[in-house]
Amino acid sequence: MAAERYPFGEIEAKWQARWEERRQFRVSPDTSRPKFYCLEMFPYPSGRIHMGHVRVYAIGDLLARYKWMRGFNVLHPMGWDAFGMPAENAAIENGVHPAIWTYENIDYMRAQLRKLGISYDWDREFATCDPSYYKWEQLIFIRMLERGLAYRKRSTVNWCPSCQTVLANEQVEAGRCWRCDSEVTRRDIDGWFFKITDYAEELLAWCDRLPGWPERVMTMQRNWIGKSEGAEFDLPVAGRPELKLRVFTTRPDTGFGMTYAVLAPEHPLVDSLVRGEGERAAVERFRAEVLKQSEIERTAEDRPKRGLRLQARVVNPFNGAEIPLFIADYVLTTYGTGAIMAVPGEDQRDWDFATQHGLPIIETVERPADWTGEAYTGDGVKINSGFLDGLTIPEAKRRAIDWLVGRGLGVAKVNYRLRDWGISRQRYWGAPIPVLYCEACGMVPEKEENLPVVLPNDVQLSGKGGSPLAQVASFVNATCPRCGGPARRETDTMDTFVESSWYFLRYCSPHYERGMFERGAADYWMPVDQYIGGIEHAVLHLLYARFYTKVLRDLGLTKVDEPFTALLSQGMVVKDGAKMSKSKGNVVSPDTIREKYGADTGRLFELFAAPPEKDLEWSDQGIEGSFRFLNRVWRFVTTHLDELRRARARAGARAAHTVTPEGKAFRRAIHETIRKVTNDLERDFHFNAAIAAIMELTNTMQAFEAAADGAAADEHAALRREAVETLLLLLGPFCPHVTEELWERLGHAESLFTQRWPEADPAALARDEVTVVLQVDGKVRGRLVVEVDAAEGRVQDLALADERIRPWLRGRAVDRVVVVPNRLVNVVTRS
């Protein structure tokens, strides 16, 4: 029973040790070879890895090993995204210090990864919670501060009551915290921001210049940046010449259809517009009502639009009409100017509100004759619009902006949905923000020579709120770097997404002590050629890292514009209908899988069961199938080992000259597999299809073996050897241990992964004959074997004379015959 299974345990330990001894995957810059930087998103050391994590590492290792075999100098590093909430929560629950918890997890997970046999350069490993790492992040923070790219402001922010900290917009998903799923509330608080909005245009422009990224990720980023073009202009307040209401619109052409205007309830102008105590009280009541509804209620389906009409009126500058002014919950402070001109004829939200409040509706675009809808947003000619009448919408937009600009009322304006990145976290386990507050000098950055500002160890973590660092007197109380007087340190820490925004650069020279990274190493290795990770980071990490890289470029530290040339977003591993995760309790441990089947089997299954970008349903039976396959390969090679080794001398003669037709067909199968697998890896990441082709080759080998017993077996020994070697080379990147072992047993002293990837031999692929499909009126009626590239006329004649075809032509006239060379003949009849 046990004897039937190949000895994967032994083999895997042996080769992991061997690769380590040989330092096989330790790399340094080498300009004589093309470089390939292959990177999987580094993990958060949360405890243990499960088979969900293994998928991404299996993909990365497959690509890295394949590129090795293609002659690339491959950088394939691994490290730890080690700051973050779970460590702090574990500390609060179990009384373990976050550092201890984190490093213990790292040790455990590193051991798990090593036993999977991934080709990492372990010399480059680091954890982001190490002061030698975050020191550089603090330095960059100061540089960003100097350039106005980091700034502090008081604002209304997303607050997670459970994590007790601020969240960036990207970290709120449908009103809930991305990490703990609690409902997010709003809070006014001082905090630090990175000016990602300065890069909105460039981030957007490059979305069209990264063809190696999945379209859906680029689309998500484009939507997130949310560029819209239009105009911003003033509406004078009637009878109050000193007051103007600034509005933004993407449809300046609809100005003549503006029948009222709306302010966000929190808009700062509201207070100056209110007249008398009665109105003030009504406004306060309305605001309170709006604020008390949660984010989730506010964004619920079918929310009614609530509004309050103010006594003040504004003037529509297009036609001079005095129009009513409202405050309403459907206008947001966070976008545009926080105020809008309302055009119910051409905007559905305004239409809803106007209908509800009995406000007039003016149509400014001619509707199609069959139009039955409400607000109209389609194309058409301008009507009821004075000087714009008769123009198309794009023409009218331009003309309206010119008109506003000419009268000094407004300007053309581009708006983005993207907000600046709030990086302050009121938590302990993160990189300290390197600034101080001095009574005399105000906010002062820490001196560079004093970096890193080290996170103190002696902290009390209660989870009660407030930044835990504020309780550490020895940390808070410091001296001002400018005047030497008493100063208080900033107690917020940085969002952990700051660490993951540049770790790929640190891997280029992880031990460099004179800077963030060594310029030469980064210039050699960057950008990352292939990045692999989950879709959940489409607008989080992947946007931040792009931004941060551009900042580093503008600081003169790197030459790259973009960090990741190509991105593969792998799907989730799902079990029992849910994503495999600790909290769902449906995890499968790689340790269990490894002990039962070996790491190679676990990896093979995850690469085979689904295309990489799709979700993968975990299947115990599926993994059995992958295991069966490897056992079959093992048995095949080991049972024929003597003969295969003997064939070695003859391998040089290349079995091309096999005499028998079966031999020729067999060799073609070998080389077609090479071509197929290479295409599948090179073009579209069709790993599952590549494995299917390798399995098929194995089946062909066994069939060939069974058919060619006796004397013929000897004749084909060299061919058989070629087949086995090809199989091992192709399968190597998927299942590195078992293939290395068999490669060695065949008599090779060199590692399989120093071999060149096989190339399909055109001579082997060449055919003398092809099977052509015969169709009558598009239906397959037969097959015909003809010589390759036979003349069309000849093929046509043969087809028309074919016995299988003739009955179908009886009583019908041939209209024409379509001949697709080497593929198909279609006889088209006329009835």
Choose which of 198, 444, 611, 654 interacts with RNA (CB under 7 A): 611
Of residues 329 through 368, those in contact with RNA by CB under 7 A are 329-332, 334-336, 338, 340-341, 343, 347, 349
Distance CA 376, CA 366 (A): 9
For RNA, give the closer residue by CB, 174 or 205: 174
Q: Which is nearer to RNA, 433 or 610 (CB)?
A: 610
Q: Is 102 left (phi over 0), alpha (psi -120 to 50) or beta?
A: alpha
Q: Which stretch binds RNA (CB under 7 A): 98-106, 195-203, 618-626, 643-651?
A: 618-626
Separation CA 822–CA 765 (nearest Å): 14
* Selected binder of RNA within 97, 632, 646, 650 (CB under 7 A): 632
Q: How many CB atoms lie within 10 A of CB 553?
A: 15
Burial of residue 774 (CB within 10 Å: 0-12, 13-18, 19+) is: buried
**Does residue 602 touch RNA according to CB under 7 A?**
no
SS3 for 546?
helix
Piece of the chain touching RNA by CB under 7 A; list 75-83, 120-128, 196-204, 769-777: 769-777
One residue of 702, 707, 714, 766 binding RNA per CB under 7 A:
702
Q: Looking at 251, 506, 594, 716, which residue binds RNA (CB under 7 A)? A: 251
Minimum distance between the CB of residue 655 and RNA, rounded to whole angstroms? 23
Q: Please count the other Cβ atoms lying within 10 Å of the Cβ belonging to residue 766.
A: 11
Q: Are 744 and 716 in contact (CB under 8 A)?
A: no
CB of 418 to RNA, least distance (A): 9
Structure token pair of residue 612:
């990489």
- The answer to whether residue 250 forms part of the interface with RNA (CB under 7 A) is yes
User: Per CB under 7 A, which region of 98-106, 159-167, 293-301, 576-584 contacts RNA?
Assistant: 293-301
Binding string, residues 516-535; x marks residues near RNA by CB under 7 A: -------------------x
Backbone angles phi, psi at 201, to 5 degrees: -65, -45
Query: Where do we find the tokens 């000849």?
Result: 794
Question: Going by C-beta distance under 8 Å and a sequence separation of 6 or more, which residues neighbour residue 525?
Answer: 29, 35, 37, 75, 507, 508
Please pick, from the candidates 268, 578, 771, 797, the single residue that binds RNA as defined by CB under 7 A: 771
**Choice from 29, 131, 226, 456 touching RNA (CB under 7 A):** 226
**Contact with RNA (CB under 7 A) among 366, 624, 662, 715:** 624
Interface with RNA, residue 180, by CB under 7 A? no
Interface of this chain with RNA, residues 772 to 801, rule: CB under 7 A: 773, 775, 777-781, 783
Amino acid of residue 180: C
Residue list 399-438, contact with RNA (CB under 7 A): 415, 417
Q: Does 628 bind RNA (CB under 7 A)?
A: yes
Interface residue with RNA among 216, 280, 407, 511 (CB under 7 A) is: 216
Describe the crossing of helices 687-707 and 717-731 by its angle, rounded to 10 degrees. Answer: 160
Binding residue (CB under 7 A) for RNA from 99, 641, 651, 692: 692
Nearer to RNA, 456 or 782 (CB): 782
Q: Which stretch binds RNA (CB under 7 A): 131-139, 200-208, 236-244, 693-701?
A: 693-701
Burial class (CB in 10 A: 0-12, 13-18, 19+), 245: buried
Using the minimum distance from each CB to RNA, give the nearer residue, 87 or 340: 340
In terms of CB distance, is 617 or 715 closer to RNA? 617
Q: b vs e for 31-62, b when ≥16 Cβ sit within 10 Å of the residue's Cβ?
A: eeeebbbbbbbbbbbbeebbbbbbbbbbbbbb
536-595: contacts with RNA (CB under 7 A): 538-539
- The reply on whether position 596 binds RNA by CB under 7 A is no
Rank residues 12 and 346 by Cβ distance to RNA and give the closer one: 346
Number of residues that bind RNA (CB under 7 A): 86
Q: Which listed residue (619, 639, 660, 754) binds RNA by CB under 7 A? A: 619
The stretch near RNA (CB under 7 A) out of 32-40, 88-96, 508-516, 617-625 is 617-625
Q: Which one of 6-14, 614-622, 648-656, 663-671 is the stretch in contact with RNA (CB under 7 A)? A: 614-622
The interface with RNA within residues 447-486 (CB under 7 A) comprises: none
Q: How far is the CB of 163 from RNA (least distance, A)?
A: 18
Task: Kindly tell me which of 311 and 639 has the beta carbon lying closer to RNA.
Answer: 639
Closest distance of CB 579 from RNA, Å: 10
**Apex CA 216: angle with CA 211 and CA 221, to 5°?**
85
Instruction: Find the shortest distance in angstroms from Cβ 250 to RNA.
Output: 4
Q: Which stretch binds RNA (CB under 7 A): 146-154, 181-189, 243-251, 709-717?
A: 243-251
Task: Please select the residue that binds RNA; options are 248, 286, 421, 548, rule is CB under 7 A.
Answer: 248
Residue 30 neighbours by CB under 8 Å, 6+ apart: 73
Question: Which residues, in sequence order, are CB contacts of 281 under 8 Å at separation 6+?
Answer: none
Distances from the Cα of 242 to the Cαs of 50, 235, 266, in angstroms?
65, 11, 20
Please, how many CA atoms are within 13 Å of residue 554, restricted to the half-sphere of its CB? 16
Cβ of 342: how many Cβ atoms within 10 Å?
28
107-115, 469-477, 731-739, 771-779 -> range binding RNA (CB under 7 A): 771-779
User: Are 775 and 826 within 8 A, CB to CB?
Assistant: yes
Please, which residues bridge with residue 414 across strands? 229
Specify the residue, 635 or 657, whose C-beta has the smaller distance to RNA. Answer: 635
Closest CA to 595 of 5, 4, 164, 1: 5
Q: Which residues pair with 830 in a beta bridge?
A: 813
686 binds RNA (CB under 7 A): yes
Q: Concatenated DSSP letters for 736-797? A: HHHHHHHHHHTT--S-GGGSPPP---HHHH--SEEEEEEEETTEEEEEEEEETT--HHHHHH
Closer CB to RNA, 45 or 230, in the complex: 230
The rounded distance, in Å, linking the Cα atoms of 221 and 538 is 7
For position 299 contacting RNA by CB under 7 A, the verdict is yes
DSSP bridge partners of 444 = 436
For residues 76-115, which are near RNA according to CB under 7 A? none
DSSP E strand stretches across 238-342: 240-249, 260-263, 307-315, 322-328, 339-342
Query: Which of 125, 130, 173, 523 is the binder for RNA (CB under 7 A)?
Result: 173
